[in-house]
């Protein structure tokens, strides 16, 4: 009902009407659901056209929290709007992986230039970069300083 690993298309997922999705949610008893709303995994080559009203409609129809796949690259405003509509989980794996890879490259490039190899420092730097990317998203989601 969306696109995952090149299977299907976002347009296909958006064709499923909310009442059909609500029926699926009710039939299966899932705790969370990830509907097609115009996002996709990975980096966007152009800004996605979001259909956030689908989140609102599904939460209203089912009471089931929704999940956003493909959040990397969305604006703070989009994150907060989707969260306010009932999107309880947002996936930004690409952003976290990119922070890991970019910091690894930066650290290793510097180590090669200086011929100074310090694996524990590499791990510390990468951990700090990933934590910063995570914190940036927690703030963007509007979740900072909120315990669950």
CA 42, 43, 49, 54 torsion-angle sign: positive
How open is the CA angle 80-87-25, to the nearest 5 degrees?
165
Mean pLDDT of all residues in 113-125 = 97
Q: Which two tokens stand for residue 143?
A: 């979740």
Please name which of 138, 71, 128, 139 lies closest in space to residue 99, comparing C-alpha atoms: 128
Name every residue whose Cβ is closer than 8 Å to that of residue 78 and which is 6 or more positions away in sequence: 50, 52
Q: Which domains are assigned to the chain?
A: 1-91 (3.40.50), 93-148 (no CATH)
Mean pLDDT of all residues in 19-34 = 97
pLDDT in tens, 11-24: 666 789 999 999 99
Residue 148, pLDDT score: 63
């Amino acid at each position: 009902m969306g696109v995952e690993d090149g299977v299907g298309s976002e347009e296909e997922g958006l064709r499923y009407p909310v009442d059909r999705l609500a029926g699926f949610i009710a039939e299966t008893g899932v705790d969370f659901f990830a509907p097609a709303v115009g996002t996709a995994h990975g980096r966007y080559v152009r800004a996605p056209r979001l259909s956030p009203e689908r989140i609102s409609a599904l939460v209203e129809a089912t009471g089931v929290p929704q999940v956003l796949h493909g959040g990397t690259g969305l604006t703070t405003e989009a994150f907060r709007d989707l969260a306010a509509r009932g999107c309880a989980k947002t996936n930004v794996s690409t952003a976290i992986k990119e922070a890991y890879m970019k910091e690894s490259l930066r650290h290793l490039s510097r180590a090669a230039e200086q011929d100074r190899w310090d694996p524990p420092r590499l791990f510390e730097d990468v951990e700090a970069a990933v934590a910063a990317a995570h914190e940036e998203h927690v703030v963007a989601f509007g979740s900072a300083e909120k315990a669950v």
